Structure 1
Amino acid sequence: MKRYVVGGVGVAGLVVLGGLAWLFNSLVLAWATTLFVVALIAGTAFYRKFRQRFATSSSHTTSHSTATKPAVESHATDDVDPGVDDSQDLAELMLKQGRYTLLLRPQIAESIPSQVLTRAQQMLDDEMTLVPSGETIVGKGMNDSADLPEHLDGRVVHVEGFYLDRYQVTNDQFQRFVDAGGYEQLALWDPEIVPAILEFVDSTGISGPRYWKNGTYLSGQANHPVVGVCWYEAAAYARWVGKRLPTDPEWVKSGSWPVPLPGARPIQRKFPWGEAFDQNKTNLWGSGRGGTAPVDEFTDGMSVGGAHQLIGNVWEWTSSRFGAWQSGANPLVLDASMRSVRGGAFDTYFEAQASCDFQSGDKAVARKRNIGFRCAIGLCDLIPDESMQAEETPAQVETHEEFAEVTQ
């Protein structure tokens, strides 16, 4: 009986090799199929978890958005038309989150429908006050010597026109930032603080302001200023919402509302309402509250431009370092991590520490129950609005004239 040989391998050998090849291919196919099924199951589980988390986050955000100031609520509760395109869907979401200034930036506005831009502009007008460009004195009254020459009592600084929040940022507004994953979006944070973000948690260990519980603010505190946030948290929120923290000169100018005088230093108010202290116009220690108040209370103490509670309720972070704008007559050597805070708080006892001139400071990582913030944005960062000019209204001019007569 002949034995057939093919290429040096017998028929029996071919049968064996073919069987091994079939077995190998079967094992590879089974392995690949298993991987595919596992990936499919994992992907499905991830998708379901993502959808559930997104729905929960959206529901949480919606439940809190109804507790904001009426000016925000009237814009933030409009339903999204299911027939609009993706860009309008995103624009609607940003309006609900209070991120209207992002839509008004030149790079974005050109792709946004005109009716959405109109609503964003209306929200800007309702929620922020326009502070015109001009000079202001920063560091006035910070020196101990009563005989100090006027030209050394503070520095005259030019400030470009800008918008400032009418109200301090509330718990409800900050909740939207938390729900949107603001503590997980590293691009919003200053690079040096990224390793410490995990330490910025509430009283139950969840990312958020220090005195919150279970990732949300305490009941009845929706319209109170958010506190227990450090300078870095305030700056990250400001970036997310499309704004920034005001500089020290901007904050002083918005509160003191200087009266420009030709050939002389401007005249500016000691308090937003005038020269005389009045504890009924602000939430300080003498008001007897013992804690924060809703941001829209104490309307008699608002500034000429319409900013509420620049004095009292909570200290406010600015973007400037503590001492950066002091007079050169008595320079201070300070820790570079100290940031400026302005305005006094509910527990401020001394009247002198609750004026437009007084500057205090704290560590940038401090998360205290009496420090909050408000946001600003430069006029040059937004699309032009023909209905709003960086000039004073007739009422503001009249107020200036009356103030100048009293102080001269």
Structure 2
Amino acid sequence: MKTYTNFIIIICIAVLLLSGMDGCQNEEDPVAFVKASPADGSTIQTDTEIIVTFDGTPTGLNVKGGKFSLTGVNATITGPFTEGTLTLALTWADSATVLTYTVAAPEPEKPDIPPAPEDMVLIPAGEFQIGSNDAEARNNEQPVRTVYVDAFYMDETEVTNVQFKEFLLENPSWQKGRIEARFHDGDYLKHWNGNNYPNGKGNHPVRYVSWYAAMAYSEWTGKRLPTEAEWERAARGGLAGKKYPNGNMITPRDANYDKNVGDTTPVGRYPANGYGLYDMVGNVWEWCLDEYDEDFYFTFPRNGVARNPLSGANSIEWIMDNFTNVNRSSAHVYRGGSWYQGEPYARVAYRNASSPTNTGFRVGIGFRCVKDVTR
């Protein structure tokens, strides 16, 4: 009987022990944070979704710093978030954690711009500082102001003798000997023999061209001359505050200037600037569309932005439609220096001007064309 009693006691103790173990096994482990995607410390956009994963379903989850939804073991945190530092404080019944992100500005949508036409490059829309505060700066280069220009295409090189001859053969009224006297100064295509350019210089820039003739050529090609602001933006090649197209120094390896060669050189011989344009300074001066205004930059906003400025007319379209009627006494801008002039004239901010009949005296004026971007 005693043995039976002891057996019963042992069975009861075992049952109690087993019950206790089951009770322990039924207690839930605390829910812990596993990971976040994107990872803590990442840079995200204002509309990024952040997925936080736990090793179980968190009870009483709260997120300070963003809206959230909970599905099983995953919490999805959404914005929109404010640019700058984002701190997310997560608390739940078992624990807490803090996540920190850097919220970047939204990436701007890239405009749908067609590829540049053959032998042209795209100059992107944007702002730049026009003018100069250098010690060499002239009064007409000041004050420095902020200018915005729309995107446009520009010829990679200056217009060559070969290209200009094609124009002359199709437009006899602009040939040497036939051009109206009111459109030039007597030195038009000075070095040409009739419709023939100098031997061996087909790929050299055409020079001794008046503004009127440059306008006629650009219209024939379906292009136009650049505004002064467009020209300077293009010449700077994306650099800010530099003297020359490729920096603050210029050498005979960079451009044809200061009589280092003694004449023009074939277009494209020297390194291109940051936009892929050749000979933006040196070789030949380049006509611009604008009428010259010595104080033009004073008309730009001091604390704002001048958008697509143009001097001498209300619109580009008006100039293109009426260029043959432009008064020959109204000086027009040309830029970039030439093979003849020295360093100060090769600065991207240097401004020069003359009558639209001028063809360039001793050195000759040339040009290159631009084309509006159409979407």
The TM-score, its normalising length taken from structure 2, stands at 0.55
Matching residue's letter, 2:198: L
Partner residue of 2:210 out of 230, 243, 252: 230
Verify: 1:352 aligned to 2:344, yes or no: yes
- Cα distance in 2, alignment partners of residues 145 and 244 from structure 1: 28
Instruction: Pick the aligned partner of 2:231 from 251, 262, 267.
Output: 251
In the TM superposition, 1:174-193 aligns within 5 A as 174-183=164-173
Structure of higher CA gyration radius: 2
Partners in 2 of 1:239 and 1:348 — Cα distance? 29
Distance 2:286 2:128 in 1: 19
Correspondences of 1:24-35 after superposition (within 5 Å): none
Distance 1:365 1:200, change over 3 A: closer
Q: What secondary structure does 2:297 align onto? A: coil
**What is aligned with 2:369?**
375
CA contact (8 A) 2:137 2:350 kept: no
Number of the residue aligned with 1:94 = none
Aligned to 1:341: 334
Q: Deviations over 1:346-383 (max 9, x none)?
A: 1002x122111111112110112331000001113xxx
In 2: Cα distance, 1:352 partner to 1:144 partner? 7
- Which residue in the other structure is 1:314 paired with? 284
SS in 2 for 1:281: coil
Q: Where do 5+ consecutive residues of structure 2 fail to align? A: 1-113, 300-327
Q: Which residue of 1 aligns with 2:95?
A: none
Higher helix share: 1
**Structure 1 residue 144 displacement after superposition:** 7.8
**For 1:282, which of 243, 250, 255 is the aligned residue?**
255
Higher fraction of strand = 2
How has the CA–CA distance of structure 1 residues 328 and 219 changed in structure 2, closer, same or farther, with 3 Å as cutoff?
same
Cα shift at 1:209 = 2.2
Q: CA deviation at 1:325?
A: 6.6
Counterparts in 2 of 1:6-45, with a 5 A limit? none
- 2:182 maps to which residue? 196
**Corresponding residue number in structure 2 for 1:57:** none
Q: Is the CA contact (8 Å cut-off) linking 1:138 and 1:326 kept in structure 2?
A: no
Check 1:283–1:195 CA distance in 2 against 1; reply closer, same or farther (3 A cut). closer
State which drifts further: 168-177 or 131-140: 131-140
What fraction of aligned residue pairs are identical, expressed as a percent? 31
**Contact 1:142-1:153 within 8 A present in 2 as well:** no
**Runs of 5+ consecutive residues of structure 1 not aligned to the other structure:** 1-120, 186-192, 203-207, 260-266, 330-334, 385-408
Partner of 2:319: none
Structure 2 counterparts to residues 137-176 of structure 1, below 5 A: 137-141=129-133, 153-176=143-166
Distance 2:212 2:181 in 1: 12
Scaled by the length of structure 1, the TM-score of the pair is 0.51
How many residues of Structure 1 are paired with residues of Structure 2 in the alignment?
228
CA RMSD of aligned residues (A): 3.1
Cα distance in 1, alignment partners of residues 222 and 229 from structure 2: 21
Distance of 1:327 and 1:168 partners within structure 2: 26
